[in-house]
Structure 1
Amino acid sequence: MKKHLLILALGALSLAACQSTENGADSPSDSTALKAINDTTLSKHIAALASDDFEGRKPFTNGETKTINYLKTEFEKLGLQPGNGKSYFQEVPMVDIKSTPAANMAIKGTSGSLSLKYLDDFVAATRHVKDQVKVENSEMVFAGYGIVAPEYKWNDYEGLNVKGKTVVVMVNDPGFTDSTLFKGKTMTYYGRWTYKFEEAARQGATGVIIIHDTPAASYPWAVVRSGWSKSKLYLAAADNNSSRALMEGWMTQDMAKAMFKLAGKSEDLMKQAMKPGFKPVDLGLKLSLTINNTIKKSVSNNVVAVLPGTKRADEYIIYSGHWDHLGKGEAINGDSIYNGAVDNATGTAALLALADAFKKAKKQPERSIMFIALTGEEQGLLGSEYYGAHPLVPVNKTVANINIDAMQASGKTKDIIAVGYGQSELEDYLTAAAKKQGRVVVKDTNPSAGFYFRSDHFNFAKVGIPALYTETGDDNIEHGKAWGVAQKEDYTKNRYHAPADNFEPAKWNFSGMVEDLRLLFDVGYRLSNETTFPGWKAGSEFKAIREKSMK
């Protein structure tokens, strides 16, 4: 998920507070809470969390210990209760696996063979907690997008038995090339690479390989190569992940074309697979690959605090944000600490500011408010995935999730972006709150990239909980839209996931960040004093899950 930082001088917050009260406060008690969300509070926490002393906040390091204890202490100071019985911590068991495939992956056919070079032509790993795994002469099948989506009348595995076989599938979903299919350009979860691996495992495949395509994936091969060259953290499982495919990986578009040629098939099969009614194709090829692993098991922590509701304390609104970043790594310009000031010291500080605001509200919320600082987001949304599988409060009593990840420091905007627009009724709450501020809600500009599935709110959605994820808008009030877009691009190019993502208080303008947080407070505060539950909108892939859980 991309995170954005915009740079300006500090805004005058007294005016911001007055404007928020005039445009956005439901009542005088509301405005009292809103004033607790300010640049002083945010700056204090960001300065601490993004300092070198916290060592980049990577799980399993001294940086984690400092971070989670800092958050626990701050929640205690605010008078919030522990969220996990008597503890502020939810342990998240993980396993770190450094998979090292053989230098070459062999694909053999009756007319010849291919030797794919690791990193240049393919990447591969395994989730199986074993020192070594081998895929030997596994028959290869091209299964289109690798999607089973009954609501869209689409099943790439229909009539296909892939047990012991390796499936080759395409990235994204059919709507990417045909706007009449699925949700058109707005990617569904069926288009995410994580889903492809999950579905292949459900089908019993031994291996699964995704064909990379830059436009459809929304990132170049270099991103795949870099991400898969490192060790990966996974959630620990009782079966040591034996339920997953033995091998998961990607191949380049050029190698996919060479594979089809070796199989005596036209590469036009990929175009045919984009249309309804496509049937999987046995390629008549066999794949072999050995993967050696280095394994480490450990435990990280989500940090959880609760403000109990005054009337319906068994119903919860959850605010979330991930505390982790990348720790220490390759030095760039002499700096080797990846402090993650924007990504996501801002969102973590936001949780503390929101907790302070709810605590100070003259009229306390009728429903309980839970604040979760999540671990392992940078490793694949692991903390939220664990919470989804081990919720601390019942899913059918969880009203909504509001997730905060990488806030701008650029000044106010006329708009706010609802990532994955069209998913849930929470967007209606957001629209009402934005209107009070004289702002509008807009869609994310690149819905085919599937950003709705790339931050922690997704794992709440995955178990049916309506989830809202916003990004501060592009249309900067002082400098205009083009400037706002350019600043985001500059952050992504020069600071995102780099040591340069540092806290620079003299350059940061908190006024837009403050306004966005006050807006998100408004959404949660309204929800906390209602008796109804917001739902998913028609066409959402999460609607049926929610309806089932609420029975």
Structure 2
Amino acid sequence: MTRRTYAAFSAALALSACAAPASTPAPLPAPASEPPMSMGAQSSPLPAHPAAPGLTMEQAVATITPQDVYARIEFLASDRMRGRDTPSPELEIAASYLVNQYKLWGMQPGGENSTFYQWWPFPLRRLRAAGAGLELRGSGGSQRLQLGRDFFARGGTAQPLASAGLVYAGRAADGVLAQGSLRDRVVVTALPGSGGSRDWRVERNRQATAAQRAGASAIVYVLEPSWTADSIAAYTRQTAAGARSLGGEAGFPQYFVTYGAAQQFFRTAGMSLDEQWRAPAAAPVVLAGVTASGALPMENADERNAPNVVAILPGSDPALRNEYVVLSAHMDHVGVGRPVNGDSIYNGADDDASGTTGLLEVAEAFARLGARPRRSIIFLHVSGEEKGLLGSEWFSDHPTVPLGQIVANVNVDMIGRNSPDSVVVIGKNYSTLGQVANFVGRQHPELSLTLSDDIWPQERFFFRSDHFNFARKEVPALFFFSGVHPDYHLPSDEVEKIDTDKAARISRMVFYLVNEIANAQERPRWDPRGLEEVRRMTR
């Protein structure tokens, strides 16, 4: 863990102490004189570069350095930031730091009430254990499963789950369930693994997404036999505590059922779970004669507000300056959680302090550029991404500029790890933005970066970061992403593992790309087939 004490952090902490309470949507107060986090003091290791417009393109791009990248990520992902959970005081400290940087560079506020902040409501909910349950009925009678013994749960609904038939989709729900094919059914899937690993979480999320797209009313994951009563009880306690921060998960019930309990309702349907568990992916199988009903009631525990940060660099062209290119990244991570090797702070250096830093570096380069681009650029830092893309959803539903005047979104998430000379750009095939990205990549061989197409279509990353909320509003979008790694969503995602040279080069590439989009005579255009595919994925 990084343990350094920062003068800048102390200043940020002082700022957060006088910030507006999270329960009210008022912005944080502006500093009386010099921004508390202006980084002007010699004792601060963070970069301090007040705006000095007039640089050439090459000089402006040269301000994006690995040293600055390291210093910013080291601050944002330090232990004292406690994983920047949504909502949390540390998230508001991160937001304060970003705001003061944009003030330092002379950016215009793009939030609400002439501030850099857009506050959005974050209802905290918790599972009401007393009313939680799952009951299976068949020709041989009923089987009532008990929370904490037979299953644990995520999500929940305001209304009980009505009696519904069960359909088994094996281990590949996303590959065998057609959109809208299982309205008012309960999907049953196999979920191998002992829990907690990145692969286990990715598989869980992929199957849940597929079940929701198919129209299912709930999903039942069958856990492998290695899950014990103790581990079920432990996960029940963990998810019950965590439900207080799962504001975005109250709409889709997810039951994690023991292998032993699942064997019984498979037998009722005249099927062998052992055989189905080993079978390869195939068409969904109806569990004949078996229905499920139950409830995962949620109750409000509290309601707070979380910040997005919105800064604007005005465009130079009178005819185009009211059009906007949005550059986005999420500033939150998952906070403090289950200890791993004695460490419980999930620092989120790559996810997504790297993308947050990338936006800052690009913003500084634009602020110091002598010739501003024709269109305006919005630098958007959202929160709540880890809770279900909530901050970007709120911005796209309540934009602070007219939605029709947003011509493109470039989203940056996790750009500091893996292969040093490539970055995946998801969404290239959906609009002319892909052609622009390829052109910019060819124009800058000095960056030694390959802008790859999506090499993980099975992971459905298109749904898993904030560009999705712009695409669903039919704003052409690209997603810069270097891929997950063994430290994904673990305390070990720390600054020492960041390839700062790669992150700086990607940030330079993003600068060139955004500049190209902002100066183009025409807006980006959807490819008709790409738009149709995006509509199918987002409706």
Taking the aligned partners of 1:77 and 1:281, their CA distance within structure 2 comes to 62
Quick one: which of 71, 74, 82 aligns to 1:44?
71
SS of residue in 1 equivalent to 2:530? coil
Deviation at 1:118, TM superposition (A): 4.2
CA gap of 1:346–1:290, structure 2 versus 1, over 3 A, is closer
> Does the 8 Å contact 2:156/2:298 carry over to 1?
no
Deviation at 1:434, TM superposition (A): 1.9
Q: Which amino acid aligns with 1:302?
A: N
Deviation at 1:156, TM superposition (A): 1.4
Deviation at 1:536, TM superposition (A): 3.4
1:9 corresponding residue in structure 2 = none
SS of residue in 1 equivalent to 2:462? helix
- TM-score, normalising length: structure 2: 0.71
1:140 corresponding residue in structure 2 = 165
Deviation at 1:43, TM superposition (A): 2.5
CA gap of 1:452–1:232, structure 2 versus 1, over 3 A, is farther
Taking the aligned partners of 1:455 and 1:385, their CA distance within structure 2 comes to 11
1:407 and 2:419 matched: no
1:89 corresponding residue in structure 2 = 117
Q: How do residues 83-122 of structure 1 correspond to structure 2 at under 5 angstroms? A: 83-85=110-112, 86-101=114-129, 105-116=134-145, 118=147, 122=151
> Does the 8 Å contact 1:317/1:398 carry over to 2?
yes
2:434 corresponding residue in structure 1 = 427
- TM-score, normalising length: structure 1: 0.69
2:219 corresponding residue in structure 1 = 209
CA gap of 1:531–1:212, structure 2 versus 1, over 3 A, is farther
1:193 corresponding residue in structure 2 = 208
The total of aligned residue pairs comes to 449
RMSD: 4.2
2:479 corresponding residue in structure 1 = 469
Deviation at 1:394, TM superposition (A): 2.7
SS of residue in 1 equivalent to 2:83? coil
1:302 and 2:275 matched: no
Taking the aligned partners of 1:535 and 1:211, their CA distance within structure 2 comes to 41
SS of residue in 1 equivalent to 2:414? coil
| Identity within the alignment, % | 28
2:35 corresponding residue in structure 1 = none
SS of residue in 2 equivalent to 1:56? helix
2:100 corresponding residue in structure 1 = 73
SS of residue in 1 equivalent to 2:473? coil
Q: How do residues 351-390 of structure 1 correspond to structure 2 at under 5 angstroms? A: 351-390=359-398
SS of residue in 2 equivalent to 1:531? coil
Deviation at 1:89, TM superposition (A): 0.7
Deviations 1:223-244 (A, max 9, x none): xx6995631646689xxx7xx5
Quick one: which of 530, 535, 544 aligns to 2:525?
535
Taking the aligned partners of 1:143 and 1:541, their CA distance within structure 2 comes to 32
Q: Which amino acid aligns with 2:165?
A: M
Taking the aligned partners of 2:77 and 2:505, their CA distance within structure 1 comes to 22
Consecutive unaligned residues of structure 2, counting only runs of 5 or more, are: 1-54, 171-176, 192-201, 225-230
Q: How do residues 488-527 of structure 1 correspond to structure 2 at under 5 angstroms? A: 489=485, 492=486, 495-504=487-496, 509-527=499-517
Deviation at 1:32, TM superposition (A): 2.6
> Does the 8 Å contact 2:330/2:382 carry over to 1?
yes
2:84 corresponding residue in structure 1 = 57
Taking the aligned partners of 1:35 and 1:404, their CA distance within structure 2 comes to 20
Consecutive unaligned residues of structure 1, counting only runs of 5 or more, are: 1-27, 146-151, 173-186, 215-220, 474-487
> Does the 8 Å contact 1:420/1:451 carry over to 2?
no
Q: Which amino acid aligns with 1:113?
A: S
Q: Which amino acid aligns with 1:522?
A: Y
Quick one: which of 468, 472, 479 aligns to 1:458?
468
Taking the aligned partners of 1:139 and 1:411, their CA distance within structure 2 comes to 46
2:62 corresponding residue in structure 1 = 35
2:17 corresponding residue in structure 1 = none
CA gap of 1:105–1:411, structure 2 versus 1, over 3 A, is closer
The higher relative CO (CA closer than 8 Å, separation ≥ 6) is in 1
Deviations 1:52-85 (A, max 9, x none): 3323212232212211111111110011111124
CA gap of 1:427–1:287, structure 2 versus 1, over 3 A, is same
SS of residue in 1 equivalent to 2:308? strand
Q: How do residues 159-238 of structure 1 correspond to structure 2 at under 5 angstroms? A: 162=184, 167-168=186-187, 193-194=208-209, 196-197=211-212, 200=215, 207-211=217-221, 230-231=242-243, 233=245
1:440 and 2:450 matched: yes
Q: Which amino acid aligns with 2:437?
A: L
